[in-house]
A = this chain, B = another copy of it.
Amino acid sequence: MSCTASTPASTTVPGADYPRLEPDGRVTFRLLAPGAREVFLQPGGDDNGLGRGPVAMQRDGEGAWTATITPEVPGFHYYWFMVDGLAVNDPGSETFFGYGRPTSAIEVPEAADAAAYYRPQDVPHGEVRARWYYAASLGQWRRLFVYTPPNADATQQRYPVLYLQHGGGEDARGWPKQGHMSHILDNAIAAGEAVPMIVVMESGQVLTRRAGAGVPSISAMDENAAVFGRLLIADTIPMIDATYRTLAQREQRAMAGLSMGGMETLYIGLRHLETFASLGVFSGSPLQTVDLARDYDGALADAAAFNAKMRLLWLGAGTAEPMGLERTLRFHEQLNGVGIAHQLWLSEGTAHEWLTWRRHLREFVRVVFH
C-alpha cells in the first residue's frame, strides 16, 4: 500500500506533492527530469541546518529524481537542485528572495506547540503595509514594509519603532514572508509580552550586488552599510515619523537585523546613538575581533558612557550554526571584558536560518522598549 501519513511541506506550492515531510522527520525531494543525466539536491550553505550537500538524487524508470534526507535540525532551509550542473529551483516549492534571486526553501517544522508563536492565532491582528516613498539620498522611489499593531487606526496612541533588517542576498520581503514577523508580533502583543510597536522593514542591500554571487567582502558590506545608513537617517526615518503615529525619540527607536542585517545594525546603530537607543544583532556579530577603541567610530571605547546612553544591546545566535555562534560568543566576551552591558540569547538546536531569527525576534520584542 503506497499511502503514508507524509504531507507536503508548508512551503510546497498548493497542488504539488513534493517536497514532502515524513512522519519520522525525514524529507523527500523529487524532480521530474527524464532528460537529465545527474541531479543533486543542494542545501543553501553548510550552516543552514538542512545538512551537507550536494546530495545525489536517484532516478526511477519514469525519470523522476528523488532524495530522502534527515535534516540536521528543524527550520527554514534554502535549497535548490543541480541538474547537469545548472542550479534550478524546485518547481514544487514557493520561492523566497535569497542569494540575490528567487530561491526554493523548505520549512521543516518544530513541534506544533513550539511553532505556535509564529503561526496565526485567534488574537487581534496587525497589518503589514507596503508603502512607497521617494528617497532623495538615492534619487529613487522605494517600497518598504511597515507592520502596524492591532487596531492602530482606532486609537490616537503613539508607538515605538523597530527598524528590522533581513540578511545578505535577501530583501525587505524576508521578515514578512520567511520570518512570519506579523504573527510573532501579534502573538507577543496579545500575550502582553511585547509593547505594541511599529516595525519598519527596508531593503538593506542598496548597492547593486552581483545576482547569485557569494558572500561579499567586509569592505563591500561596510560600503553598502554606509549608504544604507544615510538612506535610513535622511529619508526613511523622517518619512516614517511624518506618516505614522510614532514616538519619535531615540529611547523609542530600535534597530535589529539578522546576519548581514545584524552587521548593518552595528555599523549604523553604533554610529547613530542620537537616533537609536536599542540594538539587536541576530547571528550578525562581527566577523573579526573588534578594535573597541577605534571601530564603529569609537562608540564602544567608553563602556560607562555607552552603558549610560543605551537602553539595550542584544546579541543572539543559534547553537547549531558553528561560525555564527563562535563570533557571537567572541563579541559577547569582548563586551564583557570591558563591562559593556548587553544581553545574550542562544537558540537551542537551530542553525543559520529563519527559525533561529524568528526566535530571536520573539525574545527581542519581549525586552525592547520595556
Q: Which residues of A are in contact with B by a Cβ distance under 8 Å? A: 13-16, 31-37, 83-89, 91-95, 100-102, 120, 122, 125, 127-134, 141, 146, 152-153, 176, 182-183, 205, 208-213
* Interchain CB contact under 8 A, A14 and B208: yes
Main secondary structure of the interface of A (DSSP, over half): loop
| Complex Cα–Cα for A15 and B210 (A) | 4
* Interchain CB contact under 8 A, B14 and A209: yes
* Interchain CB contact under 8 A, A91 and B87: yes
Shortest Cβ gap from A180 to chain B (Å): 11
| Complex Cα–Cα for A132 and B186 (A) | 11
Specify which chain B residues have a CB less than 8 angstroms from the CB of A93 in the assembled complex: 102
* Interchain CB contact under 8 A, A91 and B212: yes
Shortest Cβ gap from A39 to chain B (Å): 10
| Complex Cα–Cα for A130 and B130 (A) | 8
Shortest Cβ gap from A107 to chain B (Å): 16
Shortest Cβ gap from A13 to chain B (Å): 5
Quick one: closest B residue to A143, CB to CB? B120
Shortest Cβ gap from A369 to chain B (Å): 22
* Interchain CB contact under 8 A, B125 and A132: yes
* Interchain CB contact under 8 A, A15 and B208: yes
Among A92, A100, A141, A211, max chain B CB count under 10 A is at A211
